[in-house]
Amino acid sequence: MRKRQTVKNKPQKPSAGRKPLMLVTGAGGRLGKHLLNLLLEKKARVRVLARAGAEVSFPRGVEVFPGDITHPITLFDAVRGVDVVFHLAALVDYVSSEKRLFDVNVEGTKNLLKVCAEAAPNLQRFVYCSSTSVMGKELAEIPANEKTECLPTDNYGFSKLMAEKAVLEYKKRFPIVIMRPAVIYGEGFDEGYFPVLKLIKHNRMRIIDSGNNVIPFVHAEDVVKALLLAAESKKAPGHIYIIAGAEQMTQKEVFEIAARELGVKPPHQHIPHFLAEFGIQLSYPLSFLGWRKTRVDLENLAVLSSHRIFDISKAKRELGYSPSVRLGEGIKEMAEYYKRGAFYAEHWKG
């Protein structure tokens, strides 16, 4: 029997007058919505992959293809004919089983890559949205850059690192780019922020340890601009880029700005990390007995208390990335967003 030959993609520029067709996976997610808005603002031709049954409505003019990255047979129609793929679909969950995380984040990514290799012969760019979680909560060096050793501290970070390796295996088949955003915030990112803002508003938030650790925030608008730069840059293929904000603020400084925007006094009492962690862990079993579970979970605690600084000079130099949202303005935006959804925020469960 004659063996089937595998033909490497030879990207070709879209024909004159035709805008590239861009496929977005995870377009209904928190970051995906920001990316979709940016692409439509740029008048791009956009196609999205939407899981069947997902209660998400997309703007008029967007091509919607039902599919699921965990079922490769459902991906061919969505991938066929696309020029650029933004792969954002992922399971962002720090309590899911290792198997579930790997099924979606690793195997799902492999499925999409394989289908792209078979069904998108003119693919110009495959942009994979990873995370600085692959580098862990305790960085091997500070500031960390793209060459810093990756030491993930949870199953989510490990699954994203394995997905990165899968993407890199295809860099000779078609142009790939891996983006590692830091701690993303912005409208739509309720979980992790509303609980903290509520505690600050009611003067119940405590500063973890000294509060002098730097939290590497980056606004969702800056992240999606970086993703688009990665799709367009001639220098990007085959590279990894860290995407973070321009400013470095400590936990204490962030709390002070948030409190000011909420019209309350900033937190001043401190709590040791081990005691805060013990309280969160204790709240889980007690919640079954009728006690209210703490609103800040272990992942929130890790983000708030970890000291992480990232070097974004490579993204600036090669992509032309320049974060535009000042952290003070971004925190003000989040406080306003919280107040607009006050009823929802005040009755936050979890």
Q: What is the pLDDT of residues 47-101, one digit of tens each?
A: 999 987 665 778 888 999 999 999 999 999 999 999 999 999 999 887 788 999 9
Domain assignment present for residue 120? The answer is yes
For residues 11 and 340, which has the higher predicted lDDT (pLDDT)?
A: 340
Q: What does the alpha-carbon distance between residue 329 and residue 325 come to, in Å, rounded to a whole number?
A: 7
Helix (H) or strand (E) holding 125: strand 125-129
Average pLDDT, the chain: 89
Angstrom distance (rounded) from CA 106 to CA 104? 6
In a domain, 298, yes or no: no
Identify the residue with better confidence: 142 or 57: 142
Burial of 278 (0-12, 13-18, 19+ CB in 10 A): exposed
Is residue 266 domain-resident?
A: no
pLDDT at 114 over 60: yes
Whether 204 maps to a domain, the answer reads no
Decide if 257 is inside a domain: no
pLDDT at 294: 47
Query: Distance of CA 188 to CAs 9, 106, 206, 263, Å?
Result: 37, 25, 25, 22
Backbone angles phi, psi at 123, to 5 degrees: -60, 125
Residue 194 lies in a domain: no
Domain assignment of residue 138, yes or no: yes
- Please give the tally of structural domains in the chain: 1
- Our measurement of the distance from residue 169's CA atom to the centroid of its chain's CA atoms, rounded to an integer in Å, reads 22
Q: What CATH code is carried by the domain that includes residue 167? A: 3.40.50.720
Residue 16 resides in a domain: no
Residue span of the structural domain in which 95 resides: 21-188+216-246+308-324
